[in-house]
Structure 1
């Protein structure tokens, strides 16, 4: 069960894990504005302290250690490695690297190695073997491999790496595991995030207060987690939770949620026919988005996609780097729908026998401007011009909004508010059974979907999500209170981006009767000095990610678009924008913390 933070936390040290002292934390503390700038500029003061980070950008230390072992065992001539959970994903990484290198007019040799690790004692508690698929490449091709890792979100998790490391020999273990490897070779013809240091020579490993055996005992003995062997049970419970079909779904009866004979009924997602079989789980939210795009590419006539609204950065990169590209409507306002309709009509005139676009991707609301598209109008265009409508509901979440009736596919990052604890990654893809292309999409997924979501990650995600609805309600109420407070100070605050006031009419079309406005807002100030002072003075954790049970802030534009600040500003995403994900803290604690931060912003402006 998630535990609400009830006091203002002491500032977490630069580079330390967020949440603090969490073995598989998915964020990192960047407590000042200058720390964030230093991170983007590769300042050793910042990057050398980091023991954690968002997993698609910062390769976890356990994964680096395992990759280093694989490089020593299988690499030649200084090759580096990326690790994936299936051969299919490794092959897609290789294809991406070869294609991107070819576009740059160069060739890169890429090799694949299959590495099966099994403990020598088959009766041990860690007896399940692990299969790694290793992509090996020259060191100077690391940025290409990192692009695939970041955009697709399909790399192995830190828990899978930990599991593999536990079976590999070290000085303290008298026995050796059984290992086998198969090598596959093929040869063929920037963003700063892609050029991070390699997976070799990882920093010192994170220390933990409890051994793995102790953690497992506590989790299983006291019912916080399912036994590791029950991963499929956990996944079924989550799929039912996401499908909205569980008649009883509360922390007190969670153990029944994954049973074959659990009480299920019509979906509460706005399309009563939705079932758990329409929900597909992925290792990250970005993997769900990437997979939705691949699904469109493999089932529909080839055409450009549409990115509607200013999205989280990697969504746009996926649409640009796979397939024939995309049309970008970065403001996501009603005028953009007019422009989109004009584009669709022009494309239809030029290609009367094929849909003018492949699919339209939009967030509801968007990140970080919290704008919502007119989904009923987009649905009408999708029906008229025969393209897929893909909606990312991560920020709105299905406690607050009902977007499935308008979409062919709904994707979400379970890493965020669905989990809340910031200690595990996950994503979901939901098909709308009432969609005109449902049968085709469902058939293709039935033939091609690979469940590579590591069982232990699923177990943690299931545990975290049991009180998802309760937490979401608290977060919604807290966020609205903070919004009201900031809105009352226009002399300092320039704009608060929040669904209650940003494209409010479009949000209202999908808002549930008891739904709130979510837990995310962004704020800008009249002076960037006020932005910096406000951020630095916030007495809450600061780092990437959102949807956490604790309040978490970041200077979003600095972290997401540092090398393209002018471009982002052209779409209304200012350099001084601060994004805040509000948590479940006590109301008085929150207001005191934001009051102190606003006072610092006022002082900076007056100075």
Structure 2
């Protein structure tokens, strides 16, 4: 456990948190070093602040320095939106949402118009670098180009739903760069001539002889794409005998993990509006939303992913029902349960459907599951990065899949049609963060098991979910890599017997609290109130109590983590009116 203490000087490198965890003040970015920009997590240190953010209450929202970019418009993106409205001189009550591509803006506009019975104002405006301001030597896409959707305020919630569920929104680094270039961009609009504006500035009165320093930095970062694909190909390749290695062409990059899910769903559904997809097990809420609102004709739901539901799926297939694809998670995000991938693979081979699996909770370092699925989805925002300062996603096609050629062709075509863009400086940040991943995963795996044992033994707790203790542990172990530092991952979830005790525990627990997981620091969140607040009364019937608390274990000193967890449990005992048979940490851990 001394590793964290010995490497405290590494905090200056941007990935090592202090040895002793602590909760940060409300609204402060959960990131180390503190004060760094582009954080994807924000401190919500009390139960009521989690609920207030889910409700969008002003007293919390106005205090957020940064937040998870799919759920919140962070300042650089808001600044760009405001600059667009000022440039176009549109009505002061108009809202603006910015996207990296024309295709994403068009999709958002279509979604707004489908939902808008009042036919409120909507329009798209394209901003682009004119030839006379372009720089010599710049090839390919100009990263200053972007599109804006203008909309009436009453459509904002619907626009945010598209931003959240598609993962297509502009990143904060990209927005910062565009702001430096905005005055050099022309704007064009098919629907309103008054929104067509010339650039406010020109470079040198003609073709610029020198490439701007800001763009030189972007050009230098563009090599990160191939390096990321190479890294992911190596990580995802199976160690199982006879399995071919993953090739870089099997790897597809996306700006967010949910955008990878969104893109894959649309690729697999294709133009067949009658195709059926199965959602097997407890899936991330946005994944379910993508399947239900997407191009599928029918969505079959097997929420528990149990052996009984596996047999139900088999019966459905035997009856002649054609299923085109099946989406699952391994393990699931919150219950940490694992479907029987071997049996699913047998059914997929027999009945011809595609298995799409999300491994974001534990990742390739811990799992060797790719041979049993056709395509693996990963949120690179999580453990792959760890630093809580960049978003990213990937799809990896199984090189042994009989659908490999079809999947690669469809994904390549979708990338081109959807104009999927990943900003080079985000890719470069992700690549730099990833260099410490094996070291980080080893430490996080080791830090987690003592916490699982500690909370499992406490009488105030009715259930602890973790891949090592779940009823499906045998399914997990069948897919675990046999090489160091593979383990059971760093996510556990805790269910107290009394919901009031859960709230008290969360309020006194001295770790970072708020969005995301897989961060280098420990972060806890009452998952349902954060991610499923509007459905909090429905989800308990599926085994997900509204007061369940997810803990993502970080790199702090292991003994310190046990200490703060034990102290929070002692506070629960005081709250409940006695020791309740409390046990010391030495008894629990031995």
One fold, TM greater than 0.5?
A: yes
Distance in 1 between the 2:275 and 2:137 partners? 52
For each residue in 1:81-120, what CA deviation from the matched residue of structure 2 results, as whole angstroms up to 9, or x when unmatched?
211111122222222223334xxx5545532211025896
* Counterpart residue number, 1:464: 433
- TM-score of the two chains, using structure 2 as the length reference: 0.85
Cα distance change, pair 549–129 in 1 and its aligned pair in 2 (3 A) = closer
* Counterpart residue number, 1:488: 457
* Counterpart residue number, 1:368: 334
Distance in 2 between the 1:488 and 1:383 partners? 42
Distance in 1 between the 2:574 and 2:258 partners? 40
Distance in 2 between the 1:331 and 1:245 partners? 29
Alignment of 1:67-106 (within 5 A): 67-74=81-88, 76-77=90-91, 78-101=93-116, 105=117
* Counterpart residue number, 2:127: 115
Distance in 2 between the 1:153 and 1:121 partners? 29
* Counterpart residue number, 1:423: 389
User: In the TM superposition, what is the alpha-carbon distance from 1:313 to its structure 2 partner?
Assistant: 1.1
Q: What SS does structure 2 have at the residue aligned with 1:389? A: strand
User: In the TM superposition, what is the alpha-carbon distance from 1:398 to its structure 2 partner?
Assistant: 0.6
User: In the TM superposition, what is the alpha-carbon distance from 1:74 to its structure 2 partner?
Assistant: 3.3
Distance in 2 between the 1:527 and 1:575 partners? 11
Aligned-residue RMSD, C-alpha: 2.6
- Residues 94 and 110 of structure 1 are in contact (CA less than 8 Å); yes or no, is this contact kept in structure 2? yes
- Residues 267 and 414 of structure 2 are in contact (CA less than 8 Å); yes or no, is this contact kept in structure 1? no
For each residue in 1:283-302, what CA deviation from the matched residue of structure 2 results, as whole angstroms up to 9, or x when unmatched?
00000111110110127784
Distance in 2 between the 1:508 and 1:117 partners? 53
* Counterpart residue number, 1:501: 469
- Residues 301 and 358 of structure 1 are in contact (CA less than 8 Å); yes or no, is this contact kept in structure 2? no
Q: Structure 2 unaligned segments of length 5 or more: list them.
A: 1-12, 193-212, 579-590
Among residues 386, 400, 404, which one is paired with 1:438 in the alignment? Answer: 404
Q: What SS does structure 1 have at the residue aligned with 2:326? A: strand
Among residues 289, 294, 314, which one is paired with 1:322 in the alignment? Answer: 294
- Residues 234 and 245 of structure 2 are in contact (CA less than 8 Å); yes or no, is this contact kept in structure 1? no
Q: Structure 1 unaligned segments of length 5 or more: list them.
A: 169-176, 187-215, 218-225, 247-265, 349-355
Distance in 1 between the 2:14 and 2:330 partners? 25
Alignment of 1:185-334 (within 5 A): 185=191, 228-244=218-234, 268=239, 271-298=243-270, 302-323=274-295, 324-334=297-307
User: In the TM superposition, what is the alpha-carbon distance from 1:139 to its structure 2 partner?
Assistant: 1.8
Distance in 1 between the 2:291 and 2:368 partners? 25
Cα distance change, pair 75–373 in 1 and its aligned pair in 2 (3 A) = farther
* Counterpart residue number, 2:533: 562
Among residues 474, 485, 490, which one is paired with 1:519 in the alignment? Answer: 490
For each residue in 1:131-157, what CA deviation from the matched residue of structure 2 results, as whole angstroms up to 9, or x when unmatched?
011122222111221111000101110
Cα distance change, pair 108–274 in 1 and its aligned pair in 2 (3 A) = farther
Distance in 1 between the 2:495 and 2:268 partners? 37
Moved more, 413-422 or 134-143: 134-143
* Counterpart residue number, 1:182: 188
Among residues 443, 466, 486, which one is paired with 1:474 in the alignment? Answer: 443
Moved more, 140-149 or 443-452: 443-452
User: In the TM superposition, what is the alpha-carbon distance from 1:2 to its structure 2 partner?
Assistant: 5.2
* Counterpart residue number, 2:8: none
Count of aligned residue pairs for this structure pair: 531
User: In the TM superposition, what is the alpha-carbon distance from 1:7 to its structure 2 partner?
Assistant: 2.7
Are 1:453 and 2:422 an aligned pair? yes
Distance in 2 between the 1:545 and 1:124 partners? 39
Among residues 513, 516, 525, which one is paired with 1:542 in the alignment? Answer: 513
